[in-house]
A and B are shown apart, each in its own frame.
Chain A
Amino acid sequence: MTEPATPYRARKNTPPESRDALRARIPGWGVDLDPKDRPSFPREQPGIETGAHWDFPDRQPEAQPRERSIEHAMLPPVFGTSAPLKGASGAIRRYAYRRYSEGRAAHWLLLIGADRVDAWESHLKSLATLRPDNPVTETGIGSEFSGNGFKSRAGKRVDVNHSWMDPAIVAGPWVLAGLGAVAVVRALRGSR
């Protein structure tokens, strides 16, 4: 009669590999064996030395009004300034921060929506510059050739079942916008 599988009784059917065998096979096996002697034990270490030489940091100047989560009691003393709010996307983001806490789906969905608006605003704005957005160079699609795109996708890769969508996601809005522009021009001509 076959042995019952492990969980149907108290001990494991297959004993683990011995310490000596593991040490011989794996460089450094067991050097952090003691769970209490690991860097993140215990999770919280009151009094840990961090290098901070202040009780509360100096405040970074707020050059322009900085949006913040309404779950914050105040503007934190230090913050990033990489891309201040602007345009329609900025208005949506400002509303999302002012109106909804991080606990509300509306907060995040508005921010994700604003990201799409931001991309469109920026693409359109770039058309009026000397360096308009270039979907070919900016997608790095050239690496399909230098990086063996065809060969790399051979074998049992499951991402090929959805990667065909990527070109549609990248180029689709441009194609739709082009078709829309053509339709508008035709409609205007027809109305004359």
Chain B
Amino acid sequence: MRAMVYRGPYKIRVEEKDIPKIEHPNDAIIRVTTGAICGSDLHLYHGMMPDTRVGTTFGHEFAGVVHQVGSSVQNLIPGDRVMVPFNVYCGSCWFCARGLYSNCHNVNPNATAVGGIYGYSHTCGGYDGGQAEFVRVPFADVGPSRIPDWMDEEDAVLLTDALPTGYFGAQLGDIVEGDTVVVFGAGPVGLFAAKSAWLMGAGRVIVVDHLDYRLEKARSFAHAETFNFAEYDDIVVHLKKQTDYLGADVVIDAVGAEADGNFLQHVTATKFKLQGGSPVALNWAIDSVRKGGTVSVVGAYGPIFSAVKFGDALNKGLTLRMNQCPVKRQWPRLFEHIRNGYLKPNELVTHRIPLEHIAEGYHMFSAKLDNIIKPLIISATA
């Protein structure tokens, strides 16, 4: 089969690999029809995530068709169209049994601090991902779901991570009616978080980024007020002024490890890999939320320490909430919102790139070329 393969920082290629095999009775092999590149894939691409091995295939957002199932699989049969949450999880460990699917203890030998994620380094379990023609999906009776007949496949792919993560980020903010919500980051997750904040009753939603074309999308797609932080000497002071010096009730960090806005933080984290992530957005979140407010973090960070302004969080009495999203818990409600027309996920898709050209796709996404927001990867088997 054809598969994207990591060759080292900033370098990937497509090569022939063996079609994955059933390795466990509850495995399924999925023929991928549509995948995506996620902003968090760029952390791998840039060599920031520890134990990212040459030869690994990335990709944790994908949908496809069941090709083969293991002997204990009861819910899927070959030919089913399925969407697969980015979480690899067993459904039966201490954490899964309480709904913490992203914190599963049975799928990742390499770390106890994180569950399993497709195509996201050995730190997340060493699973190959879906930027390929076929992928192994463990616990086929637990994670994947059949794509409803009425659902567009592109919407299904966006439901495997970006949309539920944004929606989850808004939930972690514990938004109550009338709250002012600031979202750092106008990528797909930030845009979905902003949109979701309205569903939860926000009175005002503000999105901050430095890419004007994404801020334009935040206005048109998420009905948000926007600020380009590059236009202000100090975005925190500007946000204080915008909230009558109170600060926002809720701030969502939808940026994560490669935050821009502070040269030293960015370079030490992304170029020299001396931090688990550049905490610029997180520090701005801590400083621009009101005292007693809530900071929700859904931007991805690596396991190495980062220079976070923890003292301010303490002194302001903040609630810090965060996790990788337990995707499948969000699906029933999000299906409802899509059917009702409140959410239109594929409006964020800007590029559809054949798997064979994925190296160009990664560079465009990494360098933010051509007004890119969400690139999908189209398999030749689609």
> Which A residues form the contact surface with B (CB < 8 A)?
5-7, 12-14, 16-17, 19, 22, 25-33, 35, 38-41, 43-48, 50-58, 60-61, 66-69, 71-72, 75-83, 89, 93, 97, 102, 105, 108-109, 111-112, 114-116, 118-123, 126, 131, 133-135, 137-144, 146-149, 152, 155-159, 161-163, 165-166, 169-170
Is B79 an interface residue, CB under 8 A from the partner?
no
Lowest 4 A-B CB distances belong to which pairs? Answer: A28-B342, A80-B126, A119-B8, A52-B91
Separation of A52 and B267 alpha carbons in the complex (Å): 44
Which of A41, A72, A159 lies in contact with B260, CB distance below 8 A? A159
B residues whose Cβ falls under 8 Å from a Cβ of A: 7-13, 15, 23-26, 47, 50-57, 72, 74-75, 88, 90-92, 96-101, 105-113, 116, 122-123, 125-128, 138-139, 141-142, 168, 171-172, 174-178, 196, 198-201, 203-204, 210-212, 223, 228-231, 243-247, 260-261, 263, 266-267, 270-271, 273, 276, 290, 302-305, 326, 329-330, 332-333, 337, 340-343, 358-364, 367-372
Task: Evaluate contact between A58 and B24: CB separation under 8 angstroms.
Answer: yes
- Write out the residue numbers on chain A whose beta carbons fall within 8 Å of the beta carbon of B23: 60-61, 81
Whether the pair B112, A71 counts as a contact (CB closer than 8 A) is: yes
User: Using Cβ atoms and an 8 Å threshold, which residues of chain B touch A31?
Assistant: 199, 337, 340, 342
Contact A142 B337 (CB under 8 A): no
When A31-B337, A47-B97 are in contact, do A7 and B363 touch as well, CB less than 8 Å?
Answer: no
Complex interface: chain A residues within 8 A of B329 (CB): 39-40, 48
Which single residue of chain A is at the shortest CB-CB distance from B344?
A27
Taking A28-B337, A78-B106, A157-B230 as contacts, is the C-beta distance between A102 and B364 under 8 angstroms?
no
Given known contacts A29-B198, A52-B141, A97 and B110 CB-to-CB distance under 8 angstroms: yes
Cβ distance B200 to chain A, nearest Cβ, rounded Å: 5
Q: Is the CB of A58 within 8 A of B107?
A: no
Q: Is the CB of A119 within 8 A of B51?
A: no
A33 touches B210 (CB 8 A): no
In the complex, what residues of A have CB within 8 A of residue B302's CB? 108
With A16-B203, A78-B139, A166-B10 as given contacts, are A140 and B359 in contact (CB-CB < 8 Å)?
Answer: yes
**When A40-B326, A165-B271 are in contact, do A118 and B54 touch as well, CB less than 8 Å?**
yes
Partner of B9, one of A32, A162, A170: A170
A6 to B13, CA, bound (A): 55
Question: Could you say which residues of chain A place their CB within 8 Å of the CB of B112?
Answer: 69, 71-72, 102
Residues of A within 8 A of B204 (CB): 16-17
A139 contacts which chain B residues (CB < 8 A)? 10-11, 359, 363
Given A38-B200, A122-B55, the answer on whether A54 and B92 have CB atoms closer than 8 Å is: yes
Partner of A169, one of B10, B99, B363: B10
> Is A170's CB under 8 angstroms from B10's CB?
yes
Cβ 8 A contact of A79, one of B96, B98, B107 = B107
- 27 residue pairs of the A-B complex, CB under 8 angstroms, read A28-B340, A30-B201, A40-B330, A43-B100, A53-B72, A53-B141, A57-B26, A66-B109, A69-B110, A79-B126, A80-B122, A93-B122, A97-B110, A102-B113, A102-B303, A105-B305, A112-B273, A115-B52, A116-B47, A118-B53, A133-B8, A140-B364, A143-B364, A143-B369, A156-B210, A156-B212, A158-B260
Name the contact of A40 in the complex, choosing from B171, B361, B369 (C-beta under 8 A): B171
Q: Are B10 and A165 in contact (CB under 8 A)?
A: no
Q: Which residue from B50, B228, B266, B267 sits with its C-beta under 8 Å from A156?
A: B228
Residues of A within 8 A of B122 (CB): 80, 82-83, 93
Most buried by A among B15, B57, B109, B361: B109
Name the A residues within 8 Å of B15 (CB-CB). 131
Q: Pick from B52, B96, B263, B271: contact of A50, CB below 8 A.
A: B96
Contact B363 A115 (CB under 8 A): no
Q: Assuming A77-B24, A93-B122, A152-B371, what are 6 further A-B pairs, CB within 8 angstroms?
A: A53-B72, A79-B107, A79-B109, A147-B360, A147-B372, A169-B271
